[in-house]
Amino acid sequence: MAKFYPHSPEIYRYPFTKTTRSYKKKVVYVLAGIFLFFSFYAGLIVGASYLLFLAIKYDNRLESHWSLLLKVGWGFVACMVLLFLLKFMFRQSRSQSPLHLELQPDEHPQLFAFLNQLCQETQAPFPQKVFVSHEANAMVFYEHSLLSLIWPVHKNLLIGLGLVNCVNLSEFKAVLAHEFGHFAQTGIRIGNYVHVANRIIHSMVYERDRWDNTLAQWRKSETVLAIPAWIIYPVTGTIRLMLRIGYQLLNLLYASLSREMEFHADRVAVSVTGSQAVVQALARLDEASKSLDFTWHHLAHATDHQLFTNNLFYHQRRALKHLRAQEGTEGFWETEWLHSPRSTKREIWYDSHPPDHIRAQHAQRYFVDAEEDTRSAWLLFSNPAQLQHRVSEHLYREVYGKNDIVFTDPTMVQAFIDREVAESTFDESYFGTYDQRMLHEFDLEEASAVLPFHALDKSPYNEALRVRMDAFRQKHRDLKQILRVLQGKEHPRVVEVNHREYPVERAGDLYKTLTDQLEEDNHWLADFDRRVFQLHLLRIPEQRADLREELKERYTFHFCIQRLYDATIEIQQRFAQLLNHFAKHAGTLEAENSHFTFELSVCQEKFAELLKLTEHYRLPALENVEAGAPLRSYLLTEAVFPFVSGGDTSERISTLVRQMEEVIKKLERMHYKSLGKILMLQETIRQLRPTHILS
């Protein structure tokens, strides 16, 4: 095993593994918060139970119907409040994801020997079970239940193969040493109490179920029997408000402790791997996540063409190479964000993890040198290719809910991805002019009627454009930083605009100045987009009318895609606003608040009408797309889910949200593919010799 286990630094480890005074103080704060919450919660249960007891013991021997109604109503109120307080117990909690696959020691003896030696070094208990998934992380998890508040919890280890795919043995050891640092922390046990408290509060405050539906129907009754329901409604509303405040305060306390736990686990990792391995591991986690997101984004498009890869990690390696080439470095860890002491991002009071650059600085506060083992972490697994196939195929079956998926050779799927990337990746000669923005729409016929013959011999993509676009992006970065300051997310002493420092008190004035400048830049870009179209139209020889029509058709289709995207985003945002407003102020998702249901149905109708319009549009020639096919069938293969009265409103909402997200993602894809084709066509046109030459 020694040949696969990186050498550990020979140091005295106790100063790194001991808990700090700040850590212990925050443990006390969280324990106090937990005690107060459970005391309050127990008091509510005792109070409701006592009311029920009084209702049962109430003497209604008087010959009065009102006396009987009072006894029954009183009992119903107490029962409903008690059920409201205890309904979280009837919900099943699942800590293990169906995407996790358990590993056995006899399958991967090298890995388990590695884990055993690392546990001995970090003085952590060996995990009860070891799981793998496709994810780009590693984590400790355990069962959350009421019994776990009394009995010790058995901790499990999850290893994300998306991370293994990007790290060497030293970095892998650093990541797992960090997780084993959590294994021995008292904060993990406290986190279990916080999790149960969150389950209780979330069930009562944010979730809507049969209890809420029953109360809503009960309140609608026009008889005297509805009086208890009208009493219950403000009572539970008050409890919800108080618990919402408690939820926020308790989680703020635990977030502060959680950040201390991260620093402590990092120090444990430093003690057995050295400082540099921990710093690099933080960056590898970042690039593993980015490359996996990039991969999954393109594989999702491939599934629309019935292309299912049996090795997700083959494509992640290709994505990592592509992203590194874009960064211009061998690894993202070399970039400024990880090492720069000038970084302004601060720990946010509600964040459970400190910013990575702060963690990197803490890991290097007392620098520990160690020899780096650059060999791949896959060496610890007995048959990496077989495991990659197993995890990839399991992921697809779970995500798509089908067992009869026909998998395609990864090289064929990668060829599809390569065509997608090539079409939507713009050449450096454009200086990022088309990155992360839409074209400004203009009247094509009007622009075609007045052509700038005087500018025919000038390229729009010149040094002046590069300087302008560099300044444009810098303004956006500066504006983003200032906005975070104004929102209270960062607290620097100075703010930086165009590489000059200003007092933070001027943030408001600087924000207005930058927004005004960016508005002027957008006006310039609108004129630029129009001139680019005109210049290329002008360069087309008179005998190439087909090329002229193709350019106009490409722009027409592209503007159509942009309008559809904006309209769909507007509907989705309105839909989200309604849901957020209702979650904060309304009672249930079922049979209550007819205005809310009506507004949701209006959004659904607008969405359906928008998609109906797309039936008249045909797809142009694009990579991996059937030319001439209706745009509607590409955007959504199913009918828009009807929003009619009755039935399960929650199901209708979740279905509509999914459909909107699917359409938006496909419109985004079509936007970049269409823009890529326009730029390719214009590159072809620039190679032609224009016939409109001024004398």
287 pLDDT tier (thresholds 50, 70, 90): very high
Domain end point (choices 488, 507, 539): 539
pLDDT at residue 84 tops 90? no
Residue of 370, 380, 353, 284 lying closest to 323 (CA atoms): 284
Contacts of 128 (CB under 8 A, 6+ apart): 154, 155, 156
* pTM exceeds 0.95: no
Instruction: Check whether 66 has a pLDDT greater than 70.
Output: no
In this structure, are 132 and 191 located in the same domain? Answer: yes
Q: Are the C-beta atoms of 218 and 229 separated by less than 8 Å?
A: yes
Q: Range with the lowest mean pLDDT among 223-237, 297-311, 484-498?
A: 223-237
Percent of the chain with pLDDT over 90: 51
Asked whether residue 139 is domain-assigned, the answer is yes
pLDDT reading at 334 higher than 70? no
Residue 188 pLDDT class (50, 70, 90 cuts): low
Round to whole Å and give the CA distance between 94 and 464: 58
pLDDT band at 579 (very low <50, low <70, confident <90, very high): confident
Residue bearing the bigger pLDDT, 639 or 339: 639
Output 612 or 232, whichever has higher pLDDT: 612
- Residue where a domain stops, chosen among 517, 539, 561: 539
Q: What is the mean pLDDT of residues 473-497?
A: 89
pLDDT at 411 over 90: yes
Query: Is 591 within a domain?
Result: yes
Cα–Cα distance measured from residue 189 to residue 89, given in angstroms and rounded to the nearest whole number? 20
* Model pLDDT, residue 403: 87
Share of the chain above pLDDT 70, in %: 85
**Integer-rounded Cα radius of gyration of the chain:** 31
Instruction: Indicate whether 192 and 335 sit together in one domain.
Output: yes
Which of 539, 556, 586 is the last residue in one of the domains?
A: 539
What type of residue sits at position 290? K
Do 534 and 551 reside in the same domain of the chain? no
Long-range contacts of 339-342 (CB under 8 A, 24+ apart): 339/279
Whether 2 maps to a domain, the answer reads no
Which residues, 6+ apart, have CB-to-CB distance to 246 below 8 Å? Answer: 37, 40, 201
Tell me, yes or no, whether 412 lies in a domain: no
DSSP for residue 592: -
pLDDT tens for each residue of 672-685: 999 999 999 999 99
Residue with tokens 């359409």: 663
Are 261 and 359 contacting, i.e. CB atoms less than 8 angstroms apart? no
Task: Classify burial at 29, counting beta carbons within 10 Å of its beta carbon; exposed 0-12, middle 13-18, buried 19 or more.
Answer: middle
Cα distance between residue 357 and residue 516, in whole Å: 32
| Mean pLDDT, residues 526-551 taken together | 92
Q: Are residues 194 and 317 in the same domain?
A: yes
Do both 20 and 121 map to the same domain?
A: yes
Query: Measured between alpha carbons, how far is 602 from 594 in angstroms, rounded to an integer?
Result: 12
Indicate which CATH number applies to the domain containing 548.
Answer: 1.20.1330
User: For residues 154 and 260, is the Cβ–Cβ distance under 8 A?
Assistant: no
Residue 237 lies in a domain: yes
- pLDDT, tens digit, 9 for 90 and up, residues 358-388: 899 889 988 999 999 999 999 999 999 999 9
Secondary structure (3-state) at 288: helix
pLDDT, tens digit, for every residue of 15-52?
A: 888 888 888 888 888 888 888 888 888 898 899 898 88
Distance between CA atoms of 519 and 521, rounded to whole angstroms?
5
Based on the fold, state whether residues 178 and 195 are members of the same structural domain: yes
Residue 671 or residue 26, greater confidence: 671
Lowest mean pLDDT among 81-85, 340-344, 542-546: 340-344
527 and 546 assigned to the same domain: no
* Residue linked to tokens 């100045």: 513
Q: Is residue 268 part of a domain?
A: yes
Q: Give the pLDDT band of residue 337 (cuts 50, 70, 90).
A: very low
Instruction: Look at 139-148, 171-180, 198-207, 256-265 and tell me which has the smallest mean pLDDT.
Output: 139-148
Residues 486 and 504: their CA atoms lie apart, in Å, by 9
| pLDDT at residue 215 greater than cutoff 60 | yes
Residue 191's pLDDT band, with cuts at 50, 70 and 90, is: low
CA gap 270, 13 in Å, rounded: 9
- Give pLDDT, residue 229: 81
Q: Is residue 131 part of a domain?
A: yes
Tell whether 410 is covered by a domain.
no
Q: Is the pLDDT of residue 648 over 60?
A: no
Confidence of residue 587 (pLDDT cuts 50, 70, 90): very low
Same-domain status, 618 and 658 = yes
Q: How confident is the model at residue 2 (pLDDT cuts 50, 70, 90)?
A: low
Instruction: Examine the domain organization and report whether 392 and 528 are in the same domain.
Output: no
pLDDT over 60 (residue 646): no
Q: Mean pLDDT over residues 438-454, rounded?
A: 86
Q: Give the domain extent around 98.
A: 12-301+312-402
161 neighbors 134 (Cβ within 8 angstroms)? yes
pLDDT category at 268 given cuts 50, 70, 90 is: very high
Q: Calculate mean pLDDT across residues 608-624.
A: 94
pLDDT at res. 693? 45
Question: Do residues 500 and 547 share a domain?
Answer: no
Number of domains comprising the chain: 3
What does the mean pLDDT of the chain come to? 85
Q: What is the pLDDT of residue 590?
A: 43
573 and 684: one domain?
Answer: yes
Distances (CA, A) of 165 to 97, 276, 287, 314, 332: 21, 19, 11, 9, 15
Contact 652, 658 (CB under 8 A): no
Q: Say whether pLDDT at 95 is over 60.
A: no
Q: What is the pLDDT of residues 291-331, one digit of tens each?
A: 999 999 999 999 989 999 999 999 999 999 999 887 765 55
| Co-location of 519 and 550 in the same domain | no
- What is the pLDDT confidence band of residue 90, given thresholds at 50, 70 and 90? low
Average pLDDT score over residue span 397-421: 93
